[in-house]
Amino acid sequence: MSVLPITVYGDKILREIAKPIENIDGEVIAKIQQMFFTMRQASGIGLAANQVGWNGKLFVIDLSPVEGFEDHKPVVMINPEIVEKSDELVIFEEGCLSLPFIRAEVERPESIVIRYYDTDEKEHEIEADDWFARVIQHEYDHLLGKMIPDRVTPDLKKKMQKELLRIMKRQIEPDYIITEK
């Protein structure tokens, strides 16, 4: 299976709103498998379709590499919709494969309820909290064209500008394949 190049800050597709998946066919399943493979090769725990150049409304998550989540099964969320968010907010440091070498404190709801379809076209509605809720919200943001710099304070975003520019110019060398300039 081939590794897909990961889109990085400055790539137009990361700012587009994802299009709903109309048909969950063999082509979609193959892309999902490639996404999992690519994410794992890059040591990621979540990956949205637009991060591999596909404007489909889906993301994959595998928390099993995270301590305390070893038994968490990988999940595919197709056409997800966050239908409820807790009032309690928590701040935690996040990273992103599309923002190599950048980490930032991001405030998000502690728990959410999300509705989505799986690869068998079955609808699910689950409540997620803790790290799982955070990763879902991070990947969901990608489907809305949002990224970590959109979720931090203006001062912190200003401090990131130099590194964001380096990413846009491909003056970085992550240990995974990224799109060409």
User: Which sequence positions are flagged as catalytic?
Assistant: 139
Backbone angles phi, psi at 37, to 5 degrees: -60, -45
- Paired tokens of 97: 């494969």
Integer-rounded Cα Rg, in Å, for the chain is 16
Contact 80, 140 (CB under 8 A): yes
Distance of CA 88 to the CA centre of its chain: 22
From the number of C-beta atoms within 10 Å of its C-beta (0-12, 13-18, 19+), residue 101 rates as exposed
- For the chain, what percentages of helix, strand and coil (3-state, to nearest 5) are there? 30, 30, 40
